[in-house]
Amino acid sequence: METFYHIADYHNQFYLTPDGKLHSYLKSYTGTITPETIRDFKLKQTEWGQKRPNDILRRYNNIVSICRVSVPVWRIILSDPLQIVALVGLYPTN
Mean pLDDT score of the chain = 79
Q: Residue 54 above 90 pLDDT?
A: yes
> Which position has the higher pLDDT, 24 or 6?
24
Can you give the pLDDT at residue 51? 96
Output 48 or 14, whichever has higher pLDDT.
Answer: 48
Q: Is the pLDDT of residue 69 over 60?
A: yes
Taking residues 56-70, what's their average pLDDT?
A: 83
Sign of CA dihedral 6, 51, 15, 37: negative
Cβ contacts of residue 6 below 8 Å, gap of 6+?
Answer: 35, 38, 39, 60, 63
Map out the domains of the chain as residue ranges: 2-67
pLDDT number for residue 84: 62
